[in-house]
Chain A
Amino acid sequence: MSDTDDILTSRETRRDFLFGAGGALAATWAATNWPAIAAAHTHAAAATSNGGAALVVLSAAEALDVEAIAAQIVPSDDAPGAREAGALYFIDRSMHTWLAGQAESFRAGLRDFQTKFAATHSTVGFASADDATQRAFLSANEASDFFNSMRALTLIGLFALPQYGGNRDGIGWRLIGFENQHAFAPPFGYYDRDYPGFKAR
């Protein structure tokens, strides 16, 4: 894309690692714009096997940090967050299924993240740092490709079908009040309960 002055293009270029930007962008258009959806996200390989609790791609040390970052993106409060939803397991599973082709660049991004954190926080790794330290470091790095990928993967892991390894027990769906049901009947919400029927004016 040649027009470097285009805000959108520059945003894409900045974040085109994985589909962090593509996903977010597409979602915005998808919103209304089914017409505009297209340019975004997506990857070809379909996921196949069932999600399990064992890690396949990520090492234990990598997993600790990935889970800690996910838990900052959607924290646990009175309701469970990304940690309880198993976002880590979704991400690990993605790296050997539908995102297998990008696993190495993801891990490289994670290594850079860890190196950068270690340079300024010499005693402990990111996952062992206190909450305020973690948030401050993520705030300072929230424009990075790695963080944007982590954000996209965490959210996908929160809301994708549980068969992909995340959204355990429908935790993501419960958080946002989404019922995973095949069929519904009206009334659907508060405002259509007492609708008197359409009358033209």
Chain B
Amino acid sequence: MPKYRDSEPVDFLIVGSGAAGGVLARELARGGFTVVIMEQGQRLQPQDFEHDELKYWLNNGITNDPTISPQTFRKTPAGVAQKTKPGFSNPLWYARTVGGSSVHFTANFWRFHPIDFEERSRLGSMSGTGFADWPISYAELEPYYTKVDWEIGVSGLSGVYPNEPHRSKSYPMPPMPVKSSGVLLERGARRLGLHPFPAPLAITSVPYRGRPACVHCGFCMGFGCEVRAKSSALFTVIPEAEASGRCELRTGSYVVRIATNARGRVTGVDYFDPDRRSRFQAARAVILCANGAETPRLLLMSANRLFPHGLANSSGMVGKFLMFNQGAGTYGVFEHELNEYKSVQATRLVLDFYDSDPKRGFYGGGGIDARIGPNPILWALAAPAGAPSWGKKFKDHLRTFPRTMLAGGHTTSLPVETNSVSLDPDVKDAWGMPVIRCTHKDHADDLKFAAWLQQRAVEILEAAGAQRIWLEPVREYDGSVHLLGTCRMGNDPQSSVVDRYHRAHDVPNLFICDGSSFVTSGRGQPTMTIQALAFRAAAHIAQFARRGEI
């Protein structure tokens, strides 16, 4: 791995080594450019990943730690933002490690549908929202979705559901073996005339590109993969970027400001190295891939005389339109054991309710998948509402664990301007930098649709023969791991932060590509689209660089 000097401008400095940063680093380094990736977290090896719920779920084992990097939360701008309390995790939760949240994600890899990119034109405006079309179409992104399938590694089966978007190529790996929950979802959904199909997952069903097949350990959601079967950036694009010989990955390196010159061009970044020394790395161009929470924060922290409201923020849109993906789960208990704790989260999926239908009286679309749900500790903590939560009857409930499945609802979140990431005026992190203040309250339609879709899940579980069904309450979200929309893409510099090529409207040598680029939320499972956007952005950015247009 090369070691670049701070004073030596690299072609591209990438902030964040996750799903998007990893792709951009690999593509640009392979394209002949010099690249430095700045990553706040450390690098973990497969053997570091244990089946330890206490560590990963209750102790922020690899996620942003509120004791050194707190956040604050309020529902509306009128409210007083409260700092994350001791013993709780931050509202905007992400993996702070090489590979970012692709290390601990569940690996559901749905493509968006064409409607996601043009829904505003098809449905009209939505009251109280910044609902808008994307500046790109599904057709433009399709080749890059296919690239993700093959370069990152996605298993699935194409041509098997009626509203499946066009695909230029099939999946490179067959779908994962079906689980009992998948069989039951398929049975129930078909009895209702729906079209269940094998869930696409960024997990190896067969050995793929030097990685072994999944061993079905059951610890995907929230955990790192100890066999490298999960197609995280850590095991795919990051080592491939390094193999180019032109990419340096700097761990423990926390970027706190993007520097600009008198002409309004980016010159590099200020960052803290692992010893908390303040340093400056020079760069010809900077690409932000720090996620939908940290990317807008960094732009806001980079305000200066030329950019008084934050870098790339002449529109005032930096940090606005934060979207999470709503959704509620429905548990079904069956006669025989399913043993859902084995293997991947989801093996069957129903997308018949993907499109919004004005006849329902509210906006919304989504999907239902057949799931494990959480591992034992979290499952035990979530007793059904209204049922005994301790004692003999509760113990009997615990015993239903192997006979229980979850029908997961994954739904839309409308872009609401006040839902946002901003800088907290008072609270500082362990480095003395202002922390994220999250403001979020779900749009009423998002809650209505989540509840509507939950009833479809109840019907499916009933049709599948569930003996008992219990519902997770539909509720307003005060946090998420889907961090979307905060530097939205658009053609109009007055209402968006980046253009259709992810270049900041205001700064020619600054690019932004991660969940923050999203214009709408999709129906869930954003990483597939984040990576397709990153492959597309890399192709265009490389062209710009070669033509001297950066």
Contact = CB atoms under 8 A, between A and B. Distances in A.
B377 A31 contact: no
B475 A27 contact: no
A177 B339 contact: yes
B390 A183 contact: no
Contacts of A81: 395
B210 interface: no
B472 to A, nearest CB: 5
Interface in A163-187: 164, 172-173, 175-186
25 contacts: A1-B73, A1-B82, A2-B80, A3-B76, A24-B381, A26-B381, A27-B380, A30-B222, A32-B328, A33-B327, A34-B222, A37-B480, A38-B91, A42-B89, A44-B60, A142-B389, A151-B390, A160-B53, A177-B399, A178-B402, A179-B341, A188-B179, A189-B402, A192-B180, A200-B197
A192 B389 CA distance: 31
B179 A189 contact: yes
B481 A159 contact: no
Of the four ranges (under 10, 10 to 19, 20 to 34, 35 or more), the interface on chain B belongs to 35 or more
Interface of A: 1-3, 6-9, 16, 18-19, 22-24, 26-47, 72-75, 77, 79, 81, 98-99, 101-102, 135, 138, 142, 151-152, 155-156, 158-161, 164, 172-173, 175-186, 188-192, 195, 198, 200-201
A159 B59 contact: no
Chain B interface SS verdict (over half)? loop
Interface of B: 50-55, 57-61, 63, 65-68, 73-76, 78-80, 82, 85-93, 105-106, 157, 159-161, 175, 177-180, 182-184, 186, 190, 195, 197-198, 215-218, 221-222, 226, 324-329, 331, 334, 336-343, 371, 373-374, 376-383, 389-392, 394-395, 398-399, 401-402, 406, 408-410, 441, 472-473, 475-482, 524
Given A24-B382, A39-B89, A72-B391, A189 B339 contact: yes
The 10 closest A-B pairs by CB, nearest first: A2-B79, A32-B329, A39-B479, A38-B479, A38-B93, A27-B382, A190-B336, A189-B180, A32-B408, A191-B180
Candidate in A22, A29, A38, A164 with the most chain B CB atoms within 10 angstroms: A38
Contact of A34 (B55, B58, B106, B182): B106
B377 A159 contact: yes
A155 B380 contact: yes
Contact of A98 (B54, B73, B190, B195): B54
Candidate in A9, A24, A102, A188 with the most chain B CB atoms within 10 angstroms: A188
Nearest to A20: B381
A9 to B, nearest CB: 8
Given A31-B331, A38-B92, A101-B86, A23 B74 contact: no
Contacts of B378: 23, 26-27, 30-31
A191 B89 contact: no
A82 B161 CA distance: 47
Contact of B337 (A16, A37, A98, A189): A189
Contact of B75 (A3, A34, A35): A3
A34 B481 contact: yes
Contacts of B336: 189-191
Contacts of A164: 54
B59 A43 contact: yes
Contact of B87 (A27, A102, A188): A102
A190 B54 contact: no
Contacts of B478: 1, 8-9, 39
A31 B408 contact: yes
A142 B453 CA distance: 33
Given A42-B59, A151-B390, A32 B327 contact: yes
A183 to B, nearest CB: 4
Contacts of B377: 27, 155-156, 159-160
Given A16-B85, A44-B60, A32 B371 contact: yes
Given A30-B373, A34-B221, A41 B89 contact: yes
A171 to B, nearest CB: 12
Given A8-B476, A31-B472, A35-B480, A183 B217 contact: yes
B190 A201 contact: yes
A36 B327 contact: yes
A77 B286 CA distance: 63
B480 A36 contact: yes
Contacts of A2: 74-76, 78-80
A39 B391 CA distance: 28
A43 B89 CA distance: 7
Contacts of B380: 27, 155, 158-159, 176
Contacts of B68: 44
Contacts of A44: 59-60, 65-68
A184 B218 contact: yes
Contact of A183 (B93, B215, B334): B215
A45 B336 CA distance: 40
Contacts of A180: 51
Candidate in B68, B198, B327 with the most chain A CB atoms within 10 angstroms: B327
Contact of A24 (B157, B383, B399): B383
Contacts of A158: 380
